[in-house]
A and B are shown apart, each in its own frame.
Chain A
Amino acid sequence: MNTRDFLLLMLALGAVTYLPRMLPLVVLSRRALPGWFAEWLELIPAAILSALIAPTLFAYSDPRMFSLGKVELLAALPTLFIAFKTRSLAGTVIVGMLCYWGLCRVM
């Protein structure tokens, strides 16, 4: 692929990445949302975060396969505990990393 084609492809990919990020922000920030939609959006962050984490903890990626024995899941238990107890992002990230690192070494 030559330089021009590569840059054109990157520009196109940039556009399809940027537009979903930009359009709702610019359009929705200027109007009052209907009640049900605002309530729906309130639930979206918890839903997205949970949806992002679940496969990391409960499934292998290649091939995709369910598992209850991943190191990621084991390390998540103390991480979750610390998150609930301390409500500290820094503390939780560090404890999570240490647990994961330790478990990787013994397993």
Chain B
Amino acid sequence: MMKSDATETIGNDVIKAGLAAAWPICLGYFPIGLSLGVLAQKGGLAPWQMAAMSILIFAGGSQFITVAMLGAAASPLAIISTVFMVNLRHLLMSSALAVHFPNVSRRFLTLFAYGITDESFAVNLTRFNQGGWNRYSALTLNHAANATWVTSTVLGVYIGQLVPPGAAGVDYALTGMFICLLVFQLRGHIFIITALIAATCSLLAYLWLPGNAYVIVASCSAATAGLILKRTLRKRESTR
């Protein structure tokens, strides 16, 4: 049997570390959750319906789309297929996280998967790459983000209209966080080139393709281009 190490145990400090890492996410989710709640309330959803949606779906973009499509009386099938397309990018995130969970029980993974969002993925992956990140801290982070999301969306249904938009720059919390996490990822020339290709592709796809396909289109093409470039350079090195 494998001896448990610092990344396997669970205790108060492990939970605290998860909560400490979650704060930029929670700060960013709160105003977004409130505004979703306001929209849902205007669209005729009751607080319990908002809660059910946030617990069952737990994905910001998908829920905004769902509320808008429900408001426009779209067919259930149209809503389901649109949301499915929007969430395909999570396939990539889940795949990238998989290497950090060797020999971890299926039970843990099915629970952990529930909390994978753009934001929790970015923070957890960065911490795993830095080393020593306990998977229960990662799980705590996911659930802190989830609790914030459910609370803020339901709160939005009740009081959202009373909160002034753009208070103290919180609208920028997630963008600031993504910028910093991107900088952490730039560990060499090939990463910088990949990021530049991704930004260009994403922008072009965002302007020319409808919907949210731009993230998955851009990240797949950029990673593929980066990989080809890396392998070409390596081949040239070895034949020299």
Query: Which A residues form the contact surface with B (CB < 8 A)?
Result: 1, 5-7, 9-14, 16-18, 20-30, 33, 36, 38-41, 43-59, 64-66, 72, 75-76, 79-80, 83-84, 87-90, 92-102, 104
Please determine whether A24 and B98 come into contact, CB atoms closer than 8 angstroms.
Answer: yes
Please determine whether B110 and A56 come into contact, CB atoms closer than 8 angstroms.
Answer: no
Picked from B76, B175, B190, B202, the residue with its CB within 8 Å of the CB of A43 is B190
| A97 and B8 alpha carbons, distance in the complex (Å) | 35
Of chain B, the residue at the smallest CB distance from A85 is B183
Please determine whether B94 and A46 come into contact, CB atoms closer than 8 angstroms.
Answer: no
Tell me whether chain A's interface is mostly helix, strand or loop, or mixed: helix
Within 8 A of A (CB), among B194-234: 194-203, 206-207, 214-215, 218-220, 222-224, 226-227, 230-231
| A95 and B177 alpha carbons, distance in the complex (Å) | 11
Query: Which B residues form the contact surface with A (CB < 8 A)?
Result: 23-24, 27, 49, 52-53, 56-59, 62, 66, 70, 76, 79-80, 83-84, 87-99, 101-104, 106, 109-110, 112-114, 116, 118, 121-123, 125-126, 166, 168-173, 175-186, 190-191, 194-203, 206-207, 214-215, 218-220, 222-224, 226-227, 230-231
In angstroms, how far is the closest chain A Cβ from the Cβ of B213?
A: 11
